[in-house]
């Protein structure tokens, strides 16, 4: 069982290395197959590990396996270790399963691209990095995985490197992630300092809960939690470190599906749940996480109402849904947070992939104003997109319904001012979700076909290759039934499963849960109706021009950051270049070179070639030596 | 021993050595330089023989004989060089022969 | 009486030695320089005799004055006018430095001698009449200093070969002996 976890971890790495080392000796198709198969092997390993783990008894589901000691310096030791417990096995399944489906889908989507091999190598690298992140047994290894997924994200966003927008987007993503990486690294350093050099999860949590180690004092634990939260916020594109996610849509659609919907952006949520003992010991930080989640889910939902790019709408939707997960993790509803992560992986990947089929079919057109009427032309894709939309809005019995309502009910169960505020925010978010999702659905699939659609729809052949349609089909099924692992009042195996690693704090009663569901579904339907009415009458949802402009500029965050950080940094670097680099550094280096040459020239003058000079020099030398010898006697 | 002490011979040798050194360092004709070099060698010989007499050890005289042989060899080669230079119509001036300048 | 004669001979020889030495160094005509050197060698031979080195005195006259200086005179004759050596001295700095170096050396030697005179230079060893005789030299060469003897002969051989090579460079049809 543990061996299968290791296989799961390293299989995609083997795939990536094989593709890299084989280079152009293998065909592009072969590279795609290698990547897909290794990811599915990883899924197999995860499945075996999961089954094995569930076969263990209740209290035994926490296994640490160490490969070897990676770093050792005096008393400080870091091992290459994986932690196999309920949380990590769930994440492994999600990453490798959904990842496998998306890589399979990429085979059709990326076919014909010149640099297909590079793409699949990067995809396998990403899957490996994400698996390392979720399987790591200590904070340092987690940080390694964290950084590697950031790298893979950069490489994949900027995959079409001849497009300047893509390159800029990749850089933006990387830099913003780096801010989070920095805070996380600082937090880990502080942790090492205060937790007597421990970095392993189990050891650190024991020290935190024990109460008599330095780490459990208020200041260090708060700082550590803040640092970890900073990393989570950056990686999960929550406010204020969110501006990179919409731009990241410059990458290929499968990349958006895998990295920026299903897995990488959810790493922040995973961290919040994994490090729950730390956050519970710093309750203010945990509340902050919930507040940030709530703010993000509202802001992102509102911005999504006016976007024209199909992928950007879905990206803002992702941001909003992760806000829900942060909200859940922030109030201690870890089970529902991970449950929503799971269902979100299904339906968001489904939405992206069906959008990808549309984009692929319409020759890379992404503006929804140029789409329309695709319902009859692409029936299967339409159905998949509809399923995804229903799941996203939270219509029963689709998966999103169970998870989102669980999150909301938990905040209701929390009670108090805080709980009620979050509850209301979540409900408003549900309304917004209905609005923007169905706006998108109607604009793309209903109405008169646009000119572009009419032009391209006469191709005759099907909606897309099998390799693209089959994974979409599988995800449609999962998005439909995937939520049935938690039916409040009937059975809740998933929540119990996650509770073994991170015990949920608020426990909603069945009544609270169903009441919440009723309100949420009602709001979702209101959104649906409003969107349909707006569409039918040809209006936009937001008409006031002032508000519309603000929303279209994404609340001017980009402009704000540009003025606050980018311009001053640019000015500082130019000034440094002019006043320090050139005069001091370059001149001094040049000076050393020129000085050496000059000195050499001076010294060379001793070699005059004149015999007599040499003879005189010898005579002087002898004179000096005589004195030395006589004095030495 | 009759006559001056060994030390007097040593003084003569020293002065002779100095004169020879001056000649080597100050003259420009290679021929004169070689002749001055001979002076220096002979001064050394005189020193050796004086000390041989002082110590009663024939080793000094043997050494002086070897020096004489070596000096003869060196003069032969030196003169050969000068003749070679003259054959190539080079100026017989030590300052001109500075092809080894760095 | 004997001592007085020895002193007079000594002074004469020493004076001649130094005088001809100065002449060697300062003459502009190399022929005269060479002749002065012959005189120097002769006076040195006398000094050797006074130091009980008979064989060496003879060798000095035969080898040095006889063979080496003849070589010199041959070359001077061959060079003819080209061998003229005017006193054009070179940069004054160089001349000054040369004089300083020579004087420094001289001073040092004199100082050392002065320091050592009292201890080491007052009692010459007692030597027999055969000290410095050819028999004694020969015996020393072939017993205690045999290695020096052999190596010296090799040196002379090498010099001979070198001289021939230097002499025949440029005439490609001549074989080296």
With an 8 Å Cβ cutoff, is A626 touching chain C? yes
Q: How far is C175 from chain B (nearest CA, A)?
A: 17
CB contact under 8 Å between B25 and A610, yes or no, is no
Residue A508, SS3 per DSSP: coil
Residue B38 lies in a domain: yes
Do the Cβ atoms of A210 and A251 come closer than 8 Å?
no
Residue B92 lies in a domain: no
Q: How far is A607 from chain B (nearest CA, A)?
A: 5
With an 8 Å Cβ cutoff, is B97 touching chain C? no
Please, which residues 13-32 of chain C have a Cβ atom closer than 8 Å to chain B? 14, 17-18, 21-22, 24-25, 27, 30
Please, which residues 297-326 of chain A have a Cβ atom closer than 8 Å to chain B? none
- The partner residue sitting opposite A611, judged by closest CB among B21, B94, B102, is B94
CB contact under 8 Å between A611 and B102, yes or no, is no
Confidence of residue A124 (pLDDT cuts 50, 70, 90): very high
Percentage helix, strand, coil for chain B under 3-state DSSP, each rounded to 5: 75, 0, 25
pLDDT at A74 over 80: no
Question: Chain C interface, mutation test: which of A614, A618, A620, A624, most C Cβ atoms within 10 Å?
Answer: A620
Residue predicted with more confidence, A582 or A13: A13
- The partner residue sitting opposite C102, judged by closest CB among B25, B39, B52, is B25
The whole-angstrom separation of Cα A62 and Cα A85 is 5
Q: Which residues contact A256 (CB under 8 A, 6 or more apart)?
A: A248, A249, A311, A314, A315, A352
Average pLDDT, stretch B55-66?
90
The whole-angstrom separation of Cα A291 and Cα A274 is 19
With an 8 Å Cβ cutoff, is A617 touching chain B? no
Residue A487, SS3 per DSSP: strand
Residue predicted with more confidence, B34 or A363: B34
CB contact under 8 Å between C53 and B74, yes or no, is no
Residue B99 lies in a domain: no
Range of the domain at B76: 6-87
Q: Which residues pair with A85 in a beta bridge?
A: A62
The whole-angstrom separation of Cα A347 and Cα A480 is 9
Predicted model pTM: 0.68
Residue A30: how many CB atoms within 10 A of its CB?
15
CB contact under 8 Å between C68 and B72, yes or no, is yes
On average, the pLDDT of chain A sits at: 85
Angle at A600 between CA A597 and CA A603, to 5 degrees: 155
Residue A77: phi and psi, rounded to 5, are -140, 135
With an 8 Å Cβ cutoff, is A605 touching chain C? no
Q: What is the pLDDT of residues A439-489, one digit of tens each?
A: 888 888 887 777 777 777 655 556 677 778 888 888 888 888 887 777 776
- The partner residue sitting opposite B16, judged by closest CB among C18, C75, C85, is C18
CB contact under 8 Å between B61 and C53, yes or no, is yes
Domain count, chain B: 1
Do the Cβ atoms of A314 and A433 come closer than 8 Å?
no
pLDDT at B41 over 90: yes
Chain C residues whose beta carbon lies within 8 Å of the beta carbon of residue A622: 105
Q: What is the pLDDT of residues A486-540, one digit of tens each?
A: 777 677 778 888 877 777 777 777 777 888 888 888 888 888 888 888 888 777 7
Residue C171 lies in a domain: no
Chain A residues whose beta carbon lies within 8 Å of the beta carbon of residue C98: 612, 616, 619
- The partner residue sitting opposite B95, judged by closest CB among A604, A605, A610, is A610
pLDDT of the residue at A546: 75
Residue predicted with more confidence, A88 or A539: A88
CB contact under 8 Å between B29 and C88, yes or no, is no
Please, which residues 109-148 of chain C have a Cβ atom closer than 8 Å to chain B? 109-110, 113, 117, 120-122, 124-127, 131-132, 136-137, 140-141, 144-145, 148
DSSP annotation string for A380-404:
HHHHHHHHHHHHHHT-TTSHHHHHH
**The residue count for chain B:** 102
Average pLDDT, stretch A430-435?
90
Chain A residues whose beta carbon lies within 8 Å of the beta carbon of residue C90: 612
Residue C141 lies in a domain: no
The radius of gyration of chain B from alpha carbons, rounded to an integer in Å, stands at: 17
Do the Cβ atoms of A66 and A79 come closer than 8 Å?
yes
Residue A81: phi and psi, rounded to 5, are -130, 145
CB contact under 8 Å between A620 and C112, yes or no, is no
CB contact under 8 Å between B25 and A619, yes or no, is yes
With an 8 Å Cβ cutoff, is C57 touching chain B? no
With an 8 Å Cβ cutoff, is A601 touching chain B? no
Report in angstroms the alpha-carbon separations of A375 from A382, A471, A529.
6, 20, 19
DSSP annotation string for A306-324:
G--BHHHHHHHHHHHHHHH
Residue A378: how many CB atoms within 10 A of its CB?
24
Q: Which two tokens stand for residue A309?
A: 């790019």
DSSP annotation string for C121-168:
SS-PPP--TTTT-HHHHHHHHHTTTHHHHHHHHHHHHHHHHHHHHHHH
With an 8 Å Cβ cutoff, is A625 touching chain C? no
Report in angstroms the alpha-carbon separations of A237 from A174, A190, A247, A270, A495.
12, 24, 11, 14, 26
pLDDT of the residue at A37: 92
Q: How far is B48 from chain C (nearest CA, A)?
A: 10
DSSP annotation string for C35-81:
HHHHHHHHHHHHHHHHTT-HHHHHHIIIIIIIIIHHHHHHHHHHHGG
pLDDT of the residue at C87: 67
State which residues of chain C have pLDDT below 50: 172-177
CB contact under 8 Å between C51 and B68, yes or no, is no
Q: What is the pLDDT of residues A174-217, one digit of tens each?
A: 999 999 999 999 999 988 888 777 778 888 888 777 776 776 67
CB contact under 8 Å between A616 and B25, yes or no, is yes
CATH of the domain at C33: 1.20.120.1200
Three-class SS of A519-547: HHHHHHHHHHHHHHHHHHCCCCCCCCHHH
Q: What is the pLDDT of residues A533-589, one digit of tens each?
A: 888 877 776 667 777 777 777 777 888 888 888 888 889 988 888 888 777 777 888
Please, which residues 83-102 of chain C have a Cβ atom closer than 8 Å to chain B? 83-90, 95, 98-99, 101-102
Do the Cβ atoms of A342 and A416 come closer than 8 Å?
no
Sign of CA pseudo-dihedral A249, A253, A255, A257: positive
CB contact under 8 Å between C94 and A620, yes or no, is no
Question: Chain A interface, mutation test: which of B23, B40, B95, B97, most A Cβ atoms within 10 Å?
Answer: B95
Domain count, chain C: 1
The whole-angstrom separation of Cα A325 and Cα A455 is 42
pLDDT of the residue at C177: 42
- The partner residue sitting opposite C101, judged by closest CB among A619, A627, A630, is A619
Chain C residues whose beta carbon lies within 8 Å of the beta carbon of residue A620: 97, 101, 104
Q: Which residues contact A536 (CB under 8 A, 6 or more apart)?
A: none
Report in angstroms the alpha-carbon separations of A176 from A537, A559, A606, C95.
41, 15, 61, 77
CATH of the domain at B59: 1.10.287.3510
pLDDT of the residue at B85: 84
Residue C41 lies in a domain: yes
Q: How many CB pairs under 8 A join A and C?
A: 29
Lowest mean pLDDT among A55-64, A100-109, A402-411, B86-95: A55-64
With an 8 Å Cβ cutoff, is A632 touching chain B? no
CB contact under 8 Å between A613 and C94, yes or no, is yes
Q: Which residues pair with A80 in a beta bridge?
A: A68
pLDDT of the residue at B1: 67
Chain C residues whose beta carbon lies within 8 Å of the beta carbon of residue A630: 108, 112, 115
Do the Cβ atoms of A249 and A256 come closer than 8 Å?
yes
Residue B53 lies in a domain: yes
- The partner residue sitting opposite A620, judged by closest CB among C101, C109, C115, is C101
Percent share of chain B, pLDDT over 70? 93
Residue predicted with more confidence, A593 or A376: A593
pLDDT of the residue at C171: 54
Q: Which chain C residues have any C-beta within 8 angstroms of a chain A C-beta?
A: 90, 94, 97-98, 101-102, 104-105, 108-109, 112, 115
CB contact under 8 Å between C90 and A612, yes or no, is yes
Residue predicted with more confidence, C120 or B78: B78
Average pLDDT, stretch A66-81?
80
Residue predicted with more confidence, A336 or B2: A336
With an 8 Å Cβ cutoff, is A621 touching chain C? no
Q: How far is A606 from chain B (nearest CA, A)?
A: 8
Q: How far is C97 from chain A (nearest CA, A)?
A: 7
CB contact under 8 Å between C90 and B2, yes or no, is no
pLDDT of the residue at C58: 94
Cis peptide leading into C44, omega within 30 of 0? no
Which chains lie within 8 Å of chain C at 3 or more CB pairs, if any?
Answer: A, B
Question: Chain C interface, mutation test: which of A609, A613, A631, most C Cβ atoms within 10 Å?
Answer: A613
Range of the domain at C63: 1-87
Percent share of chain A, pLDDT over 90? 28
Angle at A506 between CA A502 and CA A509, to 5 degrees: 125
Residue B68 lies in a domain: yes
Q: Which two tokens stand for residue C169?
A: 């460079």
Do the Cβ atoms of A16 and A124 come closer than 8 Å?
yes
pLDDT of the residue at B100: 63
């Amino acid at each position: 069982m543990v061996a299968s976890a290791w296989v799961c971890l390293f299989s995609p790495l083997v795939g990536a290395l094989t593709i890299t080392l084989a280079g152009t000796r293998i065909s592009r198709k072969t590279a795609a197959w290698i990547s897909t198969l290794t990811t599915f092997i990883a899924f197999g390993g995860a499945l075996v590990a999961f089954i094995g783990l569930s076969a263990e008894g209740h209290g035994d589901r926490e296994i640490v396996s160490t490969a070897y000691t990676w770093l050792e310096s005096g008393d400080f030791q870091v091992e290459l270790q994986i932690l196999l417990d309920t949380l990590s096995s769930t994440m492994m399944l999600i990453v490798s399963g959904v990842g496998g489906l998306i890589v399979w889908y990429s085979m059709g989507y990326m076919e014909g691209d010149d640099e297909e091999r590079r793409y699949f190598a990067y995809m396998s690298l990403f899957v490996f990095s994400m698996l390392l992140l979720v399987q790591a047994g200590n904070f340092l290894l987690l940080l390694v995985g964290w950084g590697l997924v950031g790298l893979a994200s950069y490489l994949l966003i900027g995959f079409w490197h001849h497009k300047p927008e893509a390159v800029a987007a990749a850089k933006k993503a990387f830099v913003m992630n780096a801010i989070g990486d920095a805070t996380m690294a600082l937090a880990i350093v502080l942790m090492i300092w205060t937790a007597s050099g421990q970095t392993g999860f189990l050891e650190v949590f024991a020290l935190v809960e024990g109460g008599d180690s330095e780490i459990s004092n208020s200041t260090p634990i708060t700082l550590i939690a803040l640092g970890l939260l900073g990393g989570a916020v950056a990686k999960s594109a929550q406010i204020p470190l969110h501006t990179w996610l919409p731009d990241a849509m410059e990458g290929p659609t499968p990349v958006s599906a895998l990295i920026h919907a299903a897995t990488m952006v959810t790493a922040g949520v995973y961290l919040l749940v994994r490090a729950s003992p730390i956050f519970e010991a710093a309750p203010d930080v945990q509340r902050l996480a919930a507040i940030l989640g709530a703010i993000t889910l509202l802001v992102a939902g509102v911005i999504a109402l006016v976007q024209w790019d199909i992928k950007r709408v879905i990206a803002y939707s992702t941001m909003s849904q992760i806000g829900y997960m942060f909200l859940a993790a922030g109030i201690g509803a870890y089970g529902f947070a991970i449950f929503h992560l799971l269902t979100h992986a299904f339906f968001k990947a489904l939405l992206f992939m069906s959008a990808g089929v549309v984009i692929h079919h319409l020759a890379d057109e992404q503006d929804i104003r140029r789409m329309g009427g695709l319902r009859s032309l692409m029936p299967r894709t339409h159905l998949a997109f509809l399923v995804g939309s229903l799941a996203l809005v939270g219509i029963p019995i689709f998966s999103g319904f169970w998870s989102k309502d669980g999150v909301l009910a938990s905040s209701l169960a929390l009670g108090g001012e805080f709980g009620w505020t979050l509850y209301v925010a979540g409900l408003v978010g549900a309304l917004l979700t209905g609005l923007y999702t169905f706006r998108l659905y109607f604009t793309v699939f209903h109405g008169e076909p646009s000119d572009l659609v009419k032009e391209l729809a006469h191709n005759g052949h099907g909606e897309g290759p099998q390799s693209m349609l089959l994974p979409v089909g599988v995800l449609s099924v999962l998005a439909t039934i995937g939520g049935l692992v938690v039916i409040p009042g009937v059975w809740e195996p998933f929540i119990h499963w996650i509770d073994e690693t991170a015990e949920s704090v608020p426990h909603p009663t069945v009544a609270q849960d169903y009441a919440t569901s009723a309100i949420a579904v009602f709001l979702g339907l209101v959104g649906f109706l409003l969107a349909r009415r707006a569409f039918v009458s040809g209006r936009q949802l937001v008409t006031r021009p002032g508000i519309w402009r603000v929303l279209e500029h994404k609340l001017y965050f980009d402009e704000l950051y540009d003025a606050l950080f980018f311009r001053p940094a640019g000015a500082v670097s130019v000034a440094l270049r002019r006043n320090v680099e050139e005069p001091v550094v370059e001149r001094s280096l040049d000076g050393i070179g020129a000085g050496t040459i000059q000195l050499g020239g001076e010294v060379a003058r001793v070699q005059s070639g004149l015999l007599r000079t040499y003879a005189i020099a010898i005579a002087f030398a002898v004179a000096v030596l005589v004195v030395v010898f006589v004095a030495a006697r | 021993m009759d006559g001056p002490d060994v030390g007097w011979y040593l003084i003569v040798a020293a002065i002779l050595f100095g004169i020879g050194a001056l000649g080597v360092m100050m003259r420009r004709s290679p021929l004169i330089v070689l002749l001055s070099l001979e002076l220096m060698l002979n001064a050394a010989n005189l020193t050796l023989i004086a000390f041989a007499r002082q110590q009663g050890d024939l080793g000094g005289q043997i050494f002086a004989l070897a020096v004489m042989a070596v000096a003869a060899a060196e003069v032969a080669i030196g003169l050969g060089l000068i003749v070679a230079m003259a054959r190539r119509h080079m100026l017989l001036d030590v300052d001109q022969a500075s092809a080894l300048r760095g | 009486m004997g001592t007085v004669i020895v002193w007079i001979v000594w002074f004469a020889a020493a004076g001649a030695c130094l005088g001809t030495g100065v002449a060697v160094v300062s003459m502009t005509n190399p022929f005269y320089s060479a002749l002065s050197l012959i005189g120097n060698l002769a006076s040195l031979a006398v000094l050797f005799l006074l130091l009980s080195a008979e064989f060496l005195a003879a060798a000095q006259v035969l080898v040095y004055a006889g063979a080496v200086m003849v070589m010199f005179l041959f070359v001077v004759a061959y060079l003819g006018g080209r061998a003229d050596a005017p006193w054009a001295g070179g940069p004054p700095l160089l001349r000054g430095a040369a004089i300083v170096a020579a004087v420094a050396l001289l001073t040092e030697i004199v100082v050392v001698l002065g320091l050592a005179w009292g201890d080491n230079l007052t009692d010459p060893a007692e030597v027999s009449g055969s000290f410095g005789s050819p028999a004694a030299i020969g015996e020393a060469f072939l017993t205690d200093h045999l290695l020096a003897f052999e190596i010296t002969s090799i040196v002379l051989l090498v010099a001979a070969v070198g001289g021939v090579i230097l002499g025949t460079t440029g005439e490609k049809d001549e074989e080296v002996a």
